[in-house]
Amino acid sequence: MDMTSMIDIVFLLISFFMIAVNFSNAEQNAFIRLPKSELAVPPKVPPDEALSLQVTENGLVLFNNQEYEIDDLERPLSFERRLYDLRGIDPKTVVVLIRGDGRCETGKIQRILKECQEQNFETFNLKAIATSGDGRD
């Protein structure tokens, strides 16, 4: 049985999947459909210190693998701030990544920003999916 070509293809597949796989454990909830934007460029350098807040369509916030109502965000956020204080990191330098669903209400996003501001987090990154076309596809 001549298996040379089969092995060729199998190795090709392996190398493809090896390159395509990424083990980054960035928190990304698949149910959140990010807004689209033509100017959203992936950051060249990932931020040193970042908190990731994910906002679902109906305004639930996923943070550290737990669900919170917006009004309940104060406790986990102040806890994070205390941790940063202990490590001697200024919360102002911490980037808050906001992965908000495109169908969520802007007012809710603003309330989340406000909760973060009250804990001295003031640098925000609003995440969006990059499109090459004109904003919507």
Smallest distance, Å, CB 57 to another protein?
Answer: 9
Whichever of 80 and 101 has its CB closer to another protein, that residue is 101
Q: Residue 37, interface with another protein (CB under 8 A)? A: yes
- Asked whether position 5 contacts another protein by CB under 8 A, the answer is no
Q: What is the 3-state secondary structure (H, E, C) of 8-77?
A: HHHHHHHHHHHHHCCCCCCCCCCCCCCCEECCCCCCCCCCCCEEEEEECCCCCEEECCEEECHHHHHHHH
| DSSP letter (8 states) at residue 134 | B
Cα–Cα dist 96/123, whole Å: 6
Q: Tokens in use for 32?
A: 């959140």
Cα 32 to Cα 100: distance, rounded to the nearest angstrom: 7
Q: Among the candidate windows 29-37, 61-69, 72-80, 81-89, which touches another protein by CB under 8 A?
A: 29-37
Subset of 68-97 contacting another protein (CB under 8 A): 92, 97
Smallest distance, another protein to C-beta of residue 28, A: 7
User: Which positions lie near another protein, rule CB under 8 A?
Assistant: 3, 7, 10-11, 13-14, 17-18, 20-24, 26, 28, 34-43, 55, 92, 97, 99-107, 109-110, 113, 117-118, 120, 122-130, 135
